[in-house]
Amino acid sequence: MSTYVVTGAAGFIGSHLTEALLGRGHRVIGVDNFSTGQERFLEAARRCDRFTLLEGDILDPGVLRQALAGADAVFHFAANADVRGGFAAPRVDLEQNTLATFQVLESMREAGVSRIVFASSSVALGEPEVFPTPEDCPIPAQTSLYGASKMAGEGLISAYCEGYGFEGYAFRFVSLLGPRYPHGHVFDFVKQLRADPSRLRILGDGTQRKSYLHVDDCVRAVLHIAEDVRPARPRSPIPDPRSPIPGSGSRFEVYHLGVPAYCLVRESAHWICDELGVSPRLEFGSGTRGWIGDSPFVFLDVTKAMKTGWAPQHSIEASVRETVRWLVGNPWIFERRT
Ligand SMILES: NC(=O)c1ccc[n+]([C@@H]2O[C@H](COP(=O)([O-])OP(=O)(O)OC[C@H]3O[C@@H](n4cnc5c(N)ncnc54)[C@H](O)[C@@H]3O)[C@@H](O)[C@H]2O)c1
C-alpha cells in the first residue's frame, strides 16, 4: 500500500483517479479548494477509511506540507482547466497552473517526495502540423495561456527531474468525457438544448476535428503506466540543492493519451441531439476555430502509451452519448458550473 497525494481530488478527473487509487488498495490524501470541485464527486471516496480530504489551496505551502507528510508520490491534477477564459484573465493560468505546479514541486522537495504524475494537455501542443501528433513533434507556437502554462508545468517538472533527481510523468490528454464531466462542448450543447431545444449555436463552422477520451480509459492509462509499467524506484535522498547532480538518474517521460480516431464537431452535435431526441436548427459560426486557442484539429499519436499494453475501450461516439446521459441524469451540475 502506498500513500498518494491527489491535488484536485474533487474535480472531474481527480475524483475518478482517487477512486481508482483507493480501489487499488492505496491511501489517498486529496487536496482541493473546491474552486470547481464538487463535494458530490467525493461521495464514494469518503466512504473509504483510506481517504483523507484536506480542503485548502495548493498555493498555500502549509496545506501542501500537511498533505505531503509521509507521502510516496503526488498526482498533480489541480488546475484551472478552463482553456477559453485565458486571454480575458491572463493571471489565472500563471497562478493556478504554472505557479501552483512550482509550489507543488518545491513542497515535494522540502518533504523529500520526488515522484510526480502530472495532468498535462494536448492544448500544450498549440496547433501542431503533424497528425497523428507524437510526443516529440515540433510545437510551432502556443495558442492559449492555458497551453503555455501546461508546457511551463512540464518544463518545471523536467528540470526538477534533471536537477533534483525527481521522477516525473506528464500525460497530455485530449478532451475527456464521461460521468462527472463538467465543462466543454458536450456540456455547452446539452445546456443550450435544455434551455431551447429548437436551436443549437455551434462555435466555428462545425468542421473542427477533435479527439476525445473516456475518463475511465484515461485513469486506467495513467495508473497502468505510472504504477505498473514504471513502479516507484527505491527512495533516495533528494540531492543538495546547492550541488545538484545533473542527469543523475533523472527520469521524465511524456505520454499522449487519446483514442486513435477523431470526429467532426458537427458529428458530435448530431449524436448529442439524437441522444436527447431533439432536432434543432443548427446555427454555425464562421471559421475553423471556435475561439482563439481552439485548435481546429486535435489528433494525438497514442502509440507510445498503447505499446505499454493499454488500449482505450470507449469509442468517441459511445463516450459522447454516455456523457449526455450522465448530464441529463445530473442536472444539478448546470447550476454549479457555467
Ligand atoms: N477535462 C479535460 O478534458 C482535460 C484535458 C486535458 C487536461 N486536463 C487537466 O486535467 C486536470 C483535471 O481537470 P478536470 O477536467 O478534472 O478539471 P476540474 O476543474 O474538474 O478539476 C480541477 C480540480 O482542481 C481544484 N483546484 C483548482 N485550483 C486549485 C488550487 N489552487 N488548490 C486546490 N485545488 C484546486 C478544483 O477545485 C477542482 O476540483 C487539470 O490539470 C486539467 O488541466 C483536463
Enumerate the β-bridge partners of residue 257.
Answer: 173
Residues 6+ apart with CB under 8 A from 291: 84, 203
Q: Which of 34, 66, 74, 77 to mutate to test the pocket of ligand 1 (most atoms within 8 A of CB)?
A: 77
Ligand 1 neighbourhood includes 176 CB (under 6 angstroms): yes
Encode pLDDT of 256-294 as tens digits: 999 999 999 999 999 999 999 999 999 998 877 777 778
For residue 101, what is its C-alpha cell?
505546479
| Whether 314 contacts 216, CB under 8 Å | yes
Encode pLDDT of 23-57 as tens digits: 999 999 999 999 999 999 999 999 999 999 999 99
Encode pLDDT of 208-251 as tens digits: 999 999 999 999 999 999 999 988 876 666 665 555 545 455 69
Residue with cell 485513469: 219
Angle at Cα 294 formed by Cα 290 and Cα 295, nearest 5°? Answer: 120
For residue 168, what is its C-alpha cell?
516525473
Q: How far is the centre of ligand 1, averaged over its atoms, from the C-alpha of 166 (Å)?
A: 23
Q: Are strands 209-210 and 263-264 parallel, antiparallel or unpaired?
A: antiparallel
In the chain the first and final C-alpha atoms are separated, in Å, by 39
Q: Where are the domains of the chain?
A: 3-175+214-257, 177-210+260-336
**Element spanning 68, H or E:** helix 61-68
Q: How many CB atoms lie within 10 A of CB 142?
A: 19
Residue range 177-210+260-336 forms a domain whose CATH class is: alpha beta
Q: How far is the centre of ligand 1, averaged over its atoms, from the C-alpha of 280 (Å)?
A: 32
Pick among 3.40.50.720, 3.40.1280.10, 2.60.120.10, 3.10.129.10: CATH of 3-175+214-257: 3.40.50.720
Q: What is the CA radius of gyration of the chain?
A: 20
Residue 61, amino acid: P
DSSP 237: P
